[in-house]
Amino acid sequence: MKPNLITFYCAVVLVLASSCAPTQKPDLEYLKSKEEKKKDLPFSDAVRVGNVLYLAGQIGMDHTSRTLVEGGIKQETMQALNNIKAVLESNGSDMNHIVRCTVILADINDFASMNEVYKTFFKDQFPARTTIAASLVANAKIEIEATAVVK
């Protein structure tokens, strides 16, 4: 074999061998709610993988009363974002470290009103975002989920 071909085959063997080597498991933690009324629900408020937090969706529910806030899409948007803020802060992050949001609206016609409130939480740097319309639990008008990095 020519020297260049031998070098090529050696490189291929090294790449294949390294791809078969056992990989280290990611640092993974399921972060249950600190709220007593949510402790038995079948989901986590967030899951941390390394330094990334994947948050469960939040609706405009006041968690002290376990009811949706009154006042329509703007108030529900504000409450949902405040709920996200609380989960982030209790898990080592904040609104400035959100990198992605998914916004689900019960009525896509609420897009402009939702956006008015949303912009007050993200001023200079906006996370990547997807907005869709779908039916939501508890007759909510909005649900927002977020992905953030730990500070």
pLDDT along the chain (151 residues), means of 10: 53 52 78 81 93 98 94 98 97 97 98 98 94 97 98 90
pLDDT at 39: 76
Residue 10 confidence (pLDDT): 47
Per-residue confidence (pLDDT) for residue 22, from 0 to 100: 58
Which CA distances in Å does 3 have to 14, 17, 36?
17, 21, 68
Nearest Cα to 110, choosing from 141, 140, 79?
141
Chain segment 104-127, per-residue pLDDT in tens: 999 999 999 999 999 999 988 999
